[in-house]
Amino acid sequence: MSIPLSEVSLHGHTVSYRMAGRGPALVLLHGIAGSSEMWEELIPTLAEHFTVIAPDLLGHGKSSKPPAEYSMGAYASSVRDLLTVVGHTRVTLVGHSLGGGVAMQFCYQFPEMSERLVLVSSGGLGREVHPILRLAAVPGAEWVLPKLCSASLRKFVDGGAKIAGRLGLRTATDLREVWRSYVSLFDADARQAFIYTVRTAVDIGGQRATALDRLYLASQIPTLIIWGAQDRMIPVQHGRDAHAAIEGSQLEVFSDAGHFPQLESPLRFISVLEAFMRATKPARLTAARLGEFVRLHGAPAPVVN
């Protein structure tokens, strides 16, 4: 069943989203150069028990691609504004890759709206990231990328498999999704948004947008981490380290999956997600309670004379 796109105007920009079902709200956030289309095959099943909201983040998919701020904080605020417009103020965040970073930032900025957190092959949990994203952060990449997206090169590359294979990607799903992301960059505005986003999160040394110093806050909200053991974009060790750092979190590693475990093993993904939703109670955080937790966690050690 195809889930149609809806549109809403936020601050003068069009934000597209897919929405279906009823029940507790699940917000599905895609990765860089992706869109809500990635979740389309999962939405009908999830919509049997949940209200599913899957936006095209600003600069992606059918949403506007203005020369604007593309930071984690700006993305989180945009998601908050969309949820307010469609009438949902308490949600479970499910974020893949870049979307995982946005989900963590959302929980940090808007704790009173955050019931649960699900991180899927998430960014923001360590420096290591595939070289292709580090290269996109290099000065001058904005001049090279249009040449890499020329029509002649697109015809030359056979279905994307050759170029993606050379990137070290091996699973068929990773190959397909990286190719889909590459094709999306043939649009000049999408390329610009891609460059802005990459440079916010990544430098030549790897990821610099990080939640590592605030991961302890996630212990205040039920957290599920899902990763593919064969992930070549962001190593599975990031998931294991995050699990160790977040008290009470749950980790599920899909042994045969790459960077897109939700697409390679959709039935298992849905089963794990639904079991997590059933087994956990939604968090009831307030900004004041979170602020007190931050204050206590950051309190200086007592001075011993």
User: What's the pLDDT score for residue 70?
Assistant: 93
Average pLDDT over residues 280-288: 89
Q: Do residues 214 and 189 lie in contact, with contact meaning Cβ atoms separated by under 8 Å?
A: no
Residue with tokens 């070549």: 232
User: What's the pLDDT score for residue 294?
Assistant: 84
Residue 9 has pLDDT above 90, yes or no: yes
Q: Which residues are catalytic?
A: 97, 231, 259
Structure-model confidence comparison of residues 244 and 172, the more confident one: 244
User: What's the pLDDT score for residue 269?
Assistant: 98
Count CA atoms within 13 Å of residue 237 on its CB side. Answer: 6
Closest CA to 93 of 77, 78, 105: 105
List helix spans (H) across 93-252. 98-109, 131-136, 141-148, 151-156, 161-166, 172-184, 188-201, 236-245
120 C-beta neighbours (distance < 10 Å), count: 27
**Where in the chain are the domains?**
5-127+209-297
Q: pLDDT category, 129, cuts 50, 70, 90?
A: confident
The secondary structure element, H or E, covering residue 269 is: helix 266-279
Q: If one looks up domain 5-127+209-297 in CATH, what number appears?
A: 3.40.50.1820
Q: At what angle do helices 98-109 and 72-86 cross, to 10 degrees?
A: 70
Residue 159 has pLDDT above 80, yes or no: no
User: What's the pLDDT score for residue 66?
Assistant: 94
Q: What is the rounded end-to-end Cα distance, in angstroms, of the chain?
A: 69
Bridge partners (DSSP) of residue 17 are: 6, 55
Query: Global pTM?
Result: 0.89
Closest CA to 215 of 239, 242, 234, 240: 242
Average pLDDT over residues 70-84: 96
Tell whether the torsion through CA atoms of 244, 246, 247 and 249 is positive or negative: negative
- Give dist(CA 95, CA 74) in Å, integer: 15
Amino acid at 56: D
